[in-house]
Amino acid sequence: MLDGILPASWRGFTHAALRIMTGLLFLEHGTAKILSFPNIDEMLKATAMPSGMVLGTGLVELIGGILIVIGLFTRSVAFILSGYMAVAYFMAHAPMGFFPLLNFGESAILYCFIFLWLATAGAGPFSVGGGRRAYAD
Protein backbone atom coordinates (compact mmCIF):
# COMPACT_ATOMS: atom_id res chain seq x y z
CA MET A 1 0.00 0.00 0.00
CA LEU A 2 2.80 2.42 0.86
CA ASP A 3 5.09 1.07 -1.83
CA GLY A 4 6.34 3.81 -4.10
CA ILE A 5 5.87 6.84 -1.85
CA LEU A 6 9.38 7.91 -2.74
CA PRO A 7 10.77 7.12 -6.17
CA ALA A 8 13.28 4.27 -6.30
CA SER A 9 15.74 6.71 -7.85
CA TRP A 10 16.02 8.42 -4.44
CA ARG A 11 17.31 5.25 -2.77
CA GLY A 12 20.98 6.11 -3.27
CA PHE A 13 20.55 9.65 -2.02
CA THR A 14 18.67 8.58 1.12
CA HIS A 15 21.26 5.86 1.78
CA ALA A 16 24.05 8.45 1.53
CA ALA A 17 22.09 10.94 3.66
CA LEU A 18 21.59 8.36 6.43
CA ARG A 19 25.29 7.39 6.38
CA ILE A 20 26.54 10.99 6.36
CA MET A 21 24.16 12.29 9.04
CA THR A 22 24.78 9.29 11.29
CA GLY A 23 28.52 9.77 10.88
CA LEU A 24 28.32 13.50 11.61
CA LEU A 25 26.20 12.99 14.73
CA PHE A 26 28.53 10.23 15.94
CA LEU A 27 31.56 12.38 15.13
CA GLU A 28 30.13 15.12 17.36
CA HIS A 29 30.48 12.80 20.36
CA GLY A 30 34.17 12.42 19.55
CA THR A 31 34.80 16.13 19.02
CA ALA A 32 33.11 16.86 22.34
CA LYS A 33 35.35 14.42 24.21
CA ILE A 34 38.63 15.07 22.39
CA LEU A 35 38.38 18.70 21.24
CA SER A 36 35.88 19.97 23.87
CA PHE A 37 33.58 21.15 21.08
CA PRO A 38 30.83 21.38 22.02
CA ASN A 39 31.94 21.56 25.64
CA ILE A 40 30.52 18.71 27.72
CA ASP A 41 32.91 18.88 30.68
CA GLU A 42 30.09 19.11 33.23
CA MET A 43 28.31 16.13 31.68
CA LEU A 44 31.51 14.07 31.73
CA LYS A 45 32.03 14.91 35.42
CA ALA A 46 28.48 13.73 36.16
CA THR A 47 29.12 10.37 34.50
CA ALA A 48 32.37 9.84 36.43
CA MET A 49 33.96 8.29 33.34
CA PRO A 50 37.72 7.81 33.84
CA SER A 51 39.83 10.17 31.69
CA GLY A 52 41.51 7.24 29.90
CA MET A 53 38.11 5.91 28.93
CA VAL A 54 37.02 9.36 27.72
CA LEU A 55 40.10 9.52 25.50
CA GLY A 56 39.60 6.00 24.17
CA THR A 57 35.90 6.36 23.44
CA GLY A 58 36.45 9.84 22.03
CA LEU A 59 39.04 8.55 19.55
CA VAL A 60 36.76 5.71 18.45
CA GLU A 61 33.91 8.18 17.92
CA LEU A 62 36.09 10.76 16.18
CA ILE A 63 37.90 8.41 13.80
CA GLY A 64 34.90 6.14 13.27
CA GLY A 65 32.63 9.11 12.60
CA ILE A 66 35.02 10.57 10.02
CA LEU A 67 35.35 7.23 8.21
CA ILE A 68 31.56 6.77 8.14
CA VAL A 69 31.00 10.32 6.83
CA ILE A 70 33.46 9.93 3.97
CA GLY A 71 32.45 6.33 3.33
CA LEU A 72 35.86 4.71 3.68
CA PHE A 73 36.10 1.14 5.02
CA THR A 74 32.41 1.55 5.84
CA ARG A 75 31.46 -2.11 6.26
CA SER A 76 34.32 -2.89 8.66
CA VAL A 77 34.08 0.36 10.61
CA ALA A 78 30.29 0.14 10.89
CA PHE A 79 30.52 -3.45 12.14
CA ILE A 80 33.00 -2.42 14.84
CA LEU A 81 30.94 0.64 15.80
CA SER A 82 27.77 -1.46 16.00
CA GLY A 83 29.41 -3.72 18.56
CA TYR A 84 30.90 -0.71 20.32
CA MET A 85 27.43 0.81 20.73
CA ALA A 86 25.93 -2.48 21.92
CA VAL A 87 28.62 -2.68 24.62
CA ALA A 88 28.06 1.00 25.48
CA TYR A 89 24.35 0.36 25.91
CA PHE A 90 24.78 -2.65 28.18
CA MET A 91 27.57 -1.04 30.23
CA ALA A 92 26.21 2.48 30.63
CA HIS A 93 22.46 2.42 30.04
CA ALA A 94 20.97 -0.99 30.81
CA PRO A 95 22.08 -0.93 34.49
CA MET A 96 19.89 2.17 34.96
CA GLY A 97 16.73 0.30 34.04
CA PHE A 98 14.99 -1.80 31.43
CA PHE A 99 13.31 0.85 29.29
CA PRO A 100 15.58 2.78 26.89
CA LEU A 101 13.45 5.90 27.25
CA LEU A 102 14.13 5.90 30.99
CA ASN A 103 17.80 4.80 30.90
CA PHE A 104 18.72 7.30 28.12
CA GLY A 105 19.86 4.47 25.85
CA GLU A 106 17.75 5.21 22.77
CA SER A 107 20.56 6.82 20.81
CA ALA A 108 22.95 3.97 21.62
CA ILE A 109 20.43 1.44 20.32
CA LEU A 110 19.74 3.49 17.18
CA TYR A 111 23.45 3.91 16.45
CA CYS A 112 23.96 0.17 17.01
CA PHE A 113 21.32 -0.83 14.48
CA ILE A 114 22.11 1.88 11.91
CA PHE A 115 25.76 0.82 12.01
CA LEU A 116 24.70 -2.82 11.71
CA TRP A 117 22.68 -1.91 8.61
CA LEU A 118 25.62 0.03 7.14
CA ALA A 119 27.85 -2.99 7.78
CA THR A 120 25.59 -5.05 5.53
CA ALA A 121 24.58 -2.37 3.00
CA GLY A 122 27.96 -0.67 2.62
CA ALA A 123 28.71 2.99 2.07
CA GLY A 124 26.47 3.49 -0.93
CA PRO A 125 26.87 6.37 -3.35
CA PHE A 126 28.70 9.63 -2.65
CA SER A 127 31.42 7.85 -0.71
CA VAL A 128 35.13 7.35 -1.11
CA GLY A 129 34.51 3.59 -1.16
CA GLY A 130 31.51 3.67 -3.48
CA GLY A 131 32.24 6.70 -5.64
CA ARG A 132 29.38 8.81 -6.97
CA ARG A 133 27.48 5.97 -8.58
CA ALA A 134 23.82 5.68 -7.70
CA TYR A 135 21.89 2.45 -7.31
CA ALA A 136 20.98 0.65 -10.49
CA ASP A 137 17.58 -0.97 -10.59
Give me the count of residues in the chain: 137
**Of 93, 107, 108, 33, residue with least CA distance to 63:** 33
- Contact indicator for 30, 63 with CB cutoff of 8 Å: yes
Which run of H or E residues covers position 77? helix 74-88
- pTM, 2 dp: 0.85
Q: Quote the longest CA-to-CA distance of the chain.
A: 52
Give the range with max mean pLDDT: 1-5, 54-58, 93-97.
Answer: 93-97
Q: pLDDT band for position 137 (50/70/90)?
A: very low
Q: What is the pLDDT of residue 22?
A: 97
Query: In terms of Cα–Cα distance, which of 54, 52, 47 is closest to 29?
Result: 54
Q: What is the pLDDT of residue 70?
A: 96
